[in-house]
Amino acid sequence: MPDNEKQSAPTLAGVPVLIPAGGLGTRLGDFAKEVPKSMIDIGGKPFIAHQLNLLKREGASDVVLLLGHMSDKIQEFVGNGESFGINVRYSWDGDKPLGTGGAVKAALKNLEVASDEIAIMYGDTYLDIPMGPALAQFKHCGRKGLMTVWEANPYNLSQWKERNTQFNRSTGLIEKYDKKKATEAMHHFDFGLSFFNRSVFDKRKKESAFDIGDIFQALVKENQLAGYEVDRRFYDLNTPECLIETRAYLGQNQLWQLHSESEE
């Protein structure tokens, strides 16, 4: 790739990345009994280290960790993010869980987040994709939100049963999103990286707790949720089986060397 193209490649620079990382990890059983999911060992270092290194690779400079369960362990390890080359700040749920959406709203209210655009990445997923192009698509589409999506394998639907998104490739819009009631028209998943105009959260009425999925559904009704399709699966820590897959992918250093490949 020519040097001028490398320099113009889109990155996450200037857009704060909020990571909800306060989940209890109940489906992981003993794996998350004494540590939060973000601190589970993956290839010799906590999972959160892999996420921050990935975000650094994608040009992110400002990360906000939304914490709850055993948050002190995460904060003690990450600190201010200096060792990762990223500025890291924290927002806490408090006495009552706020849900992923409520945690984002609280962070935007209580911290100095000046950007009109924000990114959200789930605290239990590893998304080894170029993220800048998704942000560029969000800036270009003129919608209030953008969800990255991944298509379920049509030949092996048993592997990915929980399809939750109906994405129209022609219009580039999400037409339906529901985590609980999949339909035959849903062939995609919420991949785990999304972008929003912060006003979507700022203008939301005060609630004790709500999910980011509620924001997705509201934007779908307003015809304001764009989609960006990726071609690689995600890795996560949702179940012991998923943990094994993630450890195999990251622990054995079987990463997509995006920048190295592009230089060859």
Q: Would you say residue 27 has pLDDT above 60?
A: no
- With respect to residue 144, please indicate whether it lies within any of the assigned structural domains: yes
Work out how many domains the chain is built from and give that number: 1
Residue 10 lies in a domain: no
Could you tell me if residue 21 is inside a domain? yes
Domain extent at residue 117: 15-263
Q: What is the four-CA torsion angle of 211, 72, 122, 84, rounded to 10 degrees?
A: 150
pLDDT score at 215: 95
* 41 in any annotated domain: yes
252 — pLDDT class (breaks 50, 70, 90): low
User: What is the pLDDT of the chain when averaged over all its residues?
Assistant: 84
Q: What percent of the chain has pLDDT over 90?
A: 52
Please write the tens of the pLDDT for every residue from 173-207. Answer: 999 999 888 888 888 989 999 999 999 998 887 66
- Whether residue 3 lies inside any domain: the answer is no
CATH of the domain at 27: 3.90.550.10
Which amino acid is located at 71 in the chain? Answer: S
Is 198 inside a domain boundary? Answer: yes
Per the domain annotation, does 8 fall within a domain?
Answer: no
CA–CA dist 108, 18 (Å, integer): 9
pLDDT of residue 28: 58
pLDDT in tens, 60-111: 999 999 987 678 889 999 999 999 999 999 998 877 778 899 999 999 988 8
User: What's this model's pTM, rounded to 2 decimal places?
Assistant: 0.87
Question: What percent of the chain is predicted at pLDDT more than 70?
Answer: 82
Report yes or no on 130 lying in a domain: yes
